[in-house]
Amino acid sequence: MSGNSSRSSGLFIVGVGASAGGVAALEHLFRTMPLDTGAAFVVVTHIGSHRETLLAEILARHTAMPVVNASHAQRVEANHVYVLPSDAVLTIAKQYLHLLPAAINQHERYPIDIFFASLAKAAGENAVGIVLSGAGSDGSLGVKAIKEEGGLTIAQGHDQSGPAHSGMPSSAIATGLVDVVLPVDEIGPKLREFFRAFDVLKAAESAQDNPQESLSQALQDIHATLQKRIGHDFSRYKHKTLV
């Protein structure tokens, strides 16, 4: 297991990428997001250069969680929402956000990929990447990075509320590396299920008084049940990462 702070603390960090049509999707996401997931949320969008964003203020109307514009060297906390400000590229190391001026990064048109890639390294199995409405393919490479580290990936599926622009979620789904495709209103409740399921596995693997063979069989049964319910293969998690 890596010694970085995110994994050792058990904090799940959820990266949320959105672009065209993304404000409405984000409003739906946080309106239906449980307040007690215990995860930190980082929102990355495509913001035009020198364009002031009021996204943090807008999202604060739809959740009781604190919502703030991300700042350099800021430590992320559970049940808080951090929003990428304009004219910046956002990355994360351990549990600390890092802001760089967008102009110095030649890949600034792919801020979601950049953040997801850093999130994968920082949080490993505790990383979650969500791709919402947007044109283009930003987020697809980031989804790959998160899956390589064993994290969870989610894309917005179609329902009456969207996505308004399906390019980004469709591109992510086409990679074959998205674990769950859901209408945006269902993502929050599913996330809470996932986090609770992870806690069940952690508790099961911490049962030191069980014989190893019986524990192994019990975990296989739990993995199968959780994959059916949650849509995520927990058997890929190394035992030592959960204890």
Residue ranges in 67-139 assigned as alpha helix (H): 111-123
pLDDT at 55 over 60: yes
Question: What pLDDT digit, counting tens, does each position of 156-179 carry?
Answer: 998 877 788 999 999 999 999 999
Cα–Cα distance, 242 to 16 (Å, whole number) = 24
Alpha carbon 70 to its chain centroid, in Å, reads 16
Virtual torsion, Cα 67, 45, 126, 98, nearest 10 deg: -80
Please compute the mean of the pLDDT values over residues 46-54 and round it to a whole number: 67
Q: Choose among 129, 161, 157, 135: nearest CA to 43.
A: 129
Token pair 């086409």 is found at 174
Residue ranges in the chain assigned as alpha helix (H): 5-9, 22-31, 55-60, 111-123, 140-148, 167-174, 184-205, 212-230
Sign of CA dihedral 183, 137, 57, 128: positive
Polymer length in residues for the chain: 243
Cα–Cα distance, 177 to 75 (Å, whole number) = 29
Name the token pair of 201: 């596995």
Please compute the mean of the pLDDT values over residues 48-67 and round it to a whole number: 85
- Tell me the catalytic residues: 19, 46, 138
Q: 124: which DSSP letter? A: G
Please compute the mean of the pLDDT values over residues 7-26 and round it to a whole number: 87
Cα–Cα distance, 175 to 21 (Å, whole number) = 22
Cβ-based burial of 64 (10 A; exposed 0-12, middle 13-18, buried ≥19): exposed
Average pLDDT in the chain: 83
Question: What pLDDT digit, counting tens, does each position of 185-229 carry?
Answer: 999 999 998 888 877 777 666 665 555 555 565 556 655 655 665
Q: Choose among 143, 136, 221, 235: nearest CA to 180.
A: 143
What pLDDT, on a 0 to 100 scale, did the predictor assign at position 206?
64
Question: What pLDDT digit, counting tens, does each position of 125-160 carry?
Answer: 999 999 999 999 999 999 999 999 999 999 999 887
> Rounded to two decimals, what is the model's pTM?
0.83
